[in-house]
Structure 1
Amino acid sequence: MHDDDQQDQAVGAPEIVAVREAHRLDEAALATFLGDHELLDGPLRVEQFQGGQSNPTYLLTSGEARYVLRKKPPGQILPSAHRIDREYRVMHALRDAPGVPVPAMRAYGEDESILGTEFFVMDYIPGRVFSDPGLPDLAPAERGTLYGAMIDRMADLHSVDVDAVGLSDFGKPHGYVERQIKRWRSQYEASTDAPDANMIALGDWLADNVPGDVAPAIAHGDFRLGNLLVAPNDFTVAAVLDWELATIGHPLADLAYACMPYYLPQGIPGLKGIDGMDLSAAGIPSEADQLARYRERRGIGPIDDWPVFMAFSLFRIAAILQGVYARAKAGNASNADALAVGKQATVMAECGWKIARNAG
């Protein structure tokens, strides 16, 4: 029995389930691969993490050894999506970066004949995941601590010297937001036969209001509470997860994305919003508090074009959710709840367009 088995039953413990039929692996081929990389410590057991809408993620247990496997999903996927090679590279590059905890990378499987798609293996780190930004299972002081830790880890990531960690060629240093608008508009259009009017209007507005460049940084691309692995016994961040969208880009895109729950209504399934909560009573910092904490930790001045970054975040997540919905209809999304979650794309587009209209 593993020492963290009790933790696995605790509040916030990731849900581990039997491997879904659509995501079954050739376990014999996987065992051979692990053995070749000296990662086996006995018979192999494979289970799947429930949650996340993109790359299937598995828990591998072999004797006392535990690892996590991430792989591209099966079936037809959109161009440039599910770049687990980039995910592997950025986490490996950040292995010694101060303030940015990541799991140790163990092996990369580029030969698709092994498991059907590319994959990688990394260390398993015990911890908890809190995907609901309202943090209903925590006390007010604990909520405030975790929200602060999220901002601190993000600011530390954005302070990493890109050249020093070998990621100078990981993305284009300028024009990030403009490229992202084009990318997600293209991905959205490829995922639907009936584009939403709010999404079209929002895309047009963003194209006309692209913010200026700043010093480039490593942008995680999906930085939020649900992608932080929280330590089992306190509210420090044990690891930052899910790096497939990482690139060299505008750091404020990450900050806006993490602040998105402030603009989404509380209590609607799939939206994960806190708009309408009594934040002070809940112990959750306000958006202004989070922005001030980020600025102080990074030593930067006032943030310009904040409504543009927030509207862009909603535009991007709407496009991502539309892709989730399209994959769910095709039967190859990685989460059993993907159909329900994907339908929230229209709500995200509506919220983003409201911000754009109010900004003028």
Structure 2
Amino acid sequence: MQTAVETTGSVVGSDHPTEGMIEAGRRRFPTDSASQIALDLKFRRRGGPIWMRSTPEELSTALTKFLEKRVEGDFAVTDTRWLTGGASKIQMAFTLNWSEPGRGPVADRMLLRMDPPETLNATFKQTEAELISAARGVLPVPAVRWTDAYGDEFPEPALVCDFVDGVTKPQTTKTGQVSGLGTNFGPELRAKLAPQFVQHLAALHSRDVSDVTSDALVRPDSGTNQSALWRLNFERQIWEQDRGEDVPLMDVAAGWLERNLPVTERVSLVHGDFRSGNFLFDEKSATVTAWLDWELGHLGDRHADLAYCTQPLYGHYAEDGKTFLASGMLPREDLFEQYEKASGLTVDPARIEWYSVFCSYYAIVKTLATSYRVARLGRSHQDVLLARLEGVVPVLVRELGQLLEKVV
């Protein structure tokens, strides 16, 4: 007879996943080795203490000790301050006064980006850092300076990158209050941002990735369905450990996704969260200054990003009340057409269909399962926001059901 502690997916059982439960998930739903590191960190750390607020002074002390091992000569950390925004990370801006080789004495604004005890998005900081570095020179991203991938020197895993100026939404808008969802940029700003949105996505996907591979950034085989299977199994492991209830529709969706895994003919850099709310822009010049939030990024199929950024949750209707704008930018078909011209790559409707179902599936994993579990256990500084995200579950379930009606 199984006990509650051994029952994957039970209300009690997933509060403290055992090594046996974690290993069972690995065997049942195998994913790539780097993604598995992220999952293992997530599940193993769950049994630790709840989130406790760190003061800027405490993090500054940890940061100073961290930098002492990496910066030669004298330096000083000043101007520390918390940053708000997002649904997952703890962020502290600071100025590093130091002498960088080749530049001399400088005062660089930087950002410490650290996980809470458990985050909405299971991530491995080394993977995140390498993805951002691979994207540099292709689209605007902050330079990553250093990482503490396992939380050996900070309270939790963290990375340090350059600070980039910009905003995620117009200062006058009242939309996009929750993690940038449904941000309305307005006609004038939209007309300037939308071409950059498409160009950056095209540039990211058309970058040659033959030189991009490591233990932290595993490349799937092209000409196989390996990429789709890895992404699906990653989410299925999370669903089994985080959910607090059975949802038959999720079983139907997972079964259809597994039976219809698409082949990836070309491996690309995939951002994983490419949408409004995850880029900074200068409001005066309407220039995108940086793409952020790479924790869901991987090497895989470009259609994952294309389907994701056109999900209904991230867009809104234009001023005519009839035209739906993907990510608040432009109509879905216009986005695909401009993307094909900019990238030289085709948009495959069959793969868009599969990844649209997948995106809808894992949006429910994040909201109904992970948000519930993390908020319930007090594992994040954003527990109120995570609980609020659960409010979109009925909409997401309806969308998933409608998608499945078309394909099952």
Fold match, TM over 0.5?
yes
Deviation at 1:304, TM superposition (A): 2.6
Deviation at 1:235, TM superposition (A): 2.4
Deviation at 1:276, TM superposition (A): 8.5
SS at match of 1:178: helix
Look up the match of 1:154.
201
Check conservation: 2:147, 2:160, Cα contact below 8 A. Answer: yes
Q: For 1:139 and 1:350, how far apart are their aligned partners in 2?
A: 28
Give the number of the structure whose alpha-carbon radius of gyration is greater: 2
Look up the match of 1:5.
none
Deviation at 1:315, TM superposition (A): 0.9
Matches within 5 A, 1:259-274: 259-261=310-312, 264=313, 272-274=314-316
Deviation at 1:275, TM superposition (A): 5.7
Look up the match of 2:231.
180
Look up the match of 1:104.
143
Look up the match of 2:242.
191
Give the 3 Å change call, closer, same or farther, for CA 300–36 of structure 1 in structure 2: closer
Q: Which of these residues, 77, 91, 114, is aligned with residue 71 of structure 1?
A: 114
Look up the match of 2:291.
240
Unpaired runs of 5+ in structure 2? 1-50, 98-106, 170-175
The answer to whether the aligner puts 1:230 opposite 2:266 as a matched pair is no
Q: For 2:93 and 2:255, how far apart are their aligned partners in 1?
A: 42
Counterpart code for 2:53? A
Look up the match of 1:88.
129
Deviation at 1:302, TM superposition (A): 4.7
Q: For 1:172 and 1:42, how far apart are their aligned partners in 2?
A: 39
The answer to whether the aligner puts 1:31 opposite 2:31 as a matched pair is no
SS at match of 2:63: helix
SS at match of 1:101: coil
Counterpart code for 1:250? D
Check conservation: 1:54, 1:324, Cα contact below 8 A. Answer: no
Give the 3 Å change call, closer, same or farther, for CA 47–21 of structure 1 in structure 2: farther
Aligned-residue CA RMSD (Å): 2.9
Deviation at 1:153, TM superposition (A): 0.7
Deviation at 1:42, TM superposition (A): 4.3
State the TM-score, normalizing by the size of structure 2.
Answer: 0.71
Matches within 5 A, 1:1-360: 21-24=52-55, 25-38=58-71, 42=76, 44-61=78-95, 64-74=107-117, 81-95=122-136, 97-98=137-138, 100-110=139-149, 112-130=151-169, 131=176, 132=180, 134-136=182-184, 138-165=185-212, 170-174=217-221, 175-261=226-312, 264=313, 272-274=314-316, 278=321, 280=323, 284-305=329-350, 306-321=352-367, 322-335=369-382, 336-360=384-408
Overall identity of the aligned pairs, in %: 24
Counterpart code for 2:126? D
Check conservation: 2:110, 2:161, Cα contact below 8 A. Answer: yes
SS at match of 1:22: coil
Any idea what the Cα deviations from partners look like across 1:289-334, whole Å, max 9, x if unmatched?
1111111111233523122221111112221223123111111224
SS at match of 2:53: helix
Counterpart code for 2:209? V
State the TM-score, normalizing by the size of structure 1.
Answer: 0.80
Q: For 2:297 and 2:96, how far apart are their aligned partners in 1?
A: 30
Counterpart code for 1:209? N
Deviation at 1:118, TM superposition (A): 2.4
Q: For 2:239 and 2:343, how far apart are their aligned partners in 1?
A: 33
Moved more, 156-165 or 166-175: 166-175
Check conservation: 1:202, 1:349, Cα contact below 8 A. Answer: no
Q: For 1:170 and 1:84, how far apart are their aligned partners in 2?
A: 11
Check conservation: 1:319, 1:345, Cα contact below 8 A. Answer: no
Deviation at 1:111, TM superposition (A): 6.8
SS at match of 1:242: coil
Check conservation: 1:58, 1:69, Cα contact below 8 A. Answer: yes
Give the 3 Å change call, closer, same or farther, for CA 290–259 of structure 1 in structure 2: same
Unpaired runs of 5+ in structure 1? 1-19, 265-271
Any idea what the Cα deviations from partners look like across 1:7-63, whole Å, max 9, x if unmatched?
xxxxxxxxxxxxx95354442222232355449864534333222222322222456
Counterpart code for 1:216? V
Any idea what the Cα deviations from partners look like across 1:129-172, whole Å, max 9, x if unmatched?
13446443x33031133233222111110111112355697223
Q: For 2:153 and 2:297, how far apart are their aligned partners in 1?
A: 26
Check conservation: 1:101, 1:239, Cα contact below 8 A. Answer: yes
Check conservation: 2:124, 2:149, Cα contact below 8 A. Answer: no
Check conservation: 2:317, 2:323, Cα contact below 8 A. Answer: no
Deviation at 1:240, TM superposition (A): 1.1
Moved more, 334-343 or 35-44: 35-44
